[in-house]
Amino acid sequence: MKIAVLKERKEGELRVAATPDSIKKFIALGATVTVETGAGNGAALTDEAYRAAGATVETELSTCTQDADIILKVREPEKEELMLMPEGATVVGMLDPYGKKDEFGGYKLKKLTTFSLELLPRISRAQAMDVLSSQSNLAGYRAVIDAVGAFGKVVPMMMTAAGTVAPAKALILGAGVAGLQAIATAKRLGAVVSAFDVRAVVKEQVESLGAKFIEVAAESGEASGGYAKEMSEEYKQKQATLIKDTLAKQDLVICTALIPGKPAPRLITEYMVKGMKPGSVIVDLAAASGGNCALTELDRVVEKHGVTLIGFSNMPSRVSVDASQLYARNVFQFVSTLLMAKDGTASINWEDELITGTLLTRGGETVHKNFI
């Protein structure tokens, strides 16, 4: 089996789908690995490191993909990559199927077998492959670091001869993987932390990290798989009032609320931003899905009504070294467990729920139930 690792071509994407460590493991299983030159540069991984791990490094994309059985990506393939992929090859990556459904035509034309790792069912057997958790965890950490960097004050309480500096107050909207890491990071930095989530079931997790859980006493906001669901209009009105009153007291706000397959819920209006303290900061991790804040601008840092708004769409790429290491481990677990036999040949159980949950296209057809 030949595995090809391609350089990411999307602007701002510094991650890579395989590291020298994961390549050594693929080779130990009997696979050969080809890496496109410069693929690891953004993650501080040199071509020499890949060669030392046993991979062949190719300067031409066409040579890298030639005869490849499995092609590893971080993001969905660009057109130039698709054109050079062998017909019938298998592509594994975060393919953004809800946002990039129009890309399916290219996959089907080349009869590619495509797996989108964001769609992995959240079951215990998939934990080692869970790219959303590994990348969201880093995104939550980096969001707090960016917020603190843009904030004009220190975060912890400081007692000095000149007087006492009050600690910063941080609000985390959404207590999924990214939100919980944001809570933990802000708390470690010394902030007074509050968190909001429509899922009352996360209250214990929030409080275990030392944050105050604020909630609207109403219907459950948990959908299947542990995700949040869209709430009723009555709930949204109560939620808006609670968030508005809470925002007015905050210094740092991290927005992490997402609903799979739908635009991000709008939690912060312009009116709410106007009521915030001058100098406060909002980091919107939902920017790529429309934003939790009405004033977020995609991939820009702007100031509006005295509040700094940060809308980076790819926060994990801002910690690309660790993000690549974790992602590569997730990818290895998926490929080695579900796509390869112990002798390095192809072996796929097409009835496995992890396969059916992530398989988008096969044999020139769209096969995933959510996209047919």
Catalytic entry in 62, 67, 125, 127: 127
> Residue 323, class by beta-carbon neighbours within 10 Å (0-12 exposed, 13-18 middle, 19+ buried)?
buried
Alpha helices in the chain (DSSP H): 20-28, 47-52, 61-65, 79-83, 104-109, 131-150, 177-188, 203-208, 233-247, 270-274, 320-338, 353-358
Residue type at position 343: D
Provide the residue count of the chain: 372
What residues contact residue 171 under an 8 Å CB cut-off, 6+ apart? 193, 194, 195, 196, 246, 247, 250, 252, 253, 254
> Residue 60, class by beta-carbon neighbours within 10 Å (0-12 exposed, 13-18 middle, 19+ buried)?
exposed
Catalytic entry in 9, 66, 188, 227: 227
Pair 192, 170: CB distance under 8 Å:
yes
Greatest extent of the chain over all pairs of C-alpha atoms, in Å:
72
133 in active site = yes
Pair 288, 315: CB distance under 8 Å:
no
Catalytic entry in 47, 69, 130, 284: 130
239 in active site = no
Catalytic entry in 9, 122, 188, 266: 122
Catalytic entry in 22, 116, 133, 336: 133
130 in active site = yes
75 in active site = no
Just list the catalytic residues.
Answer: 122, 127, 130, 133, 227
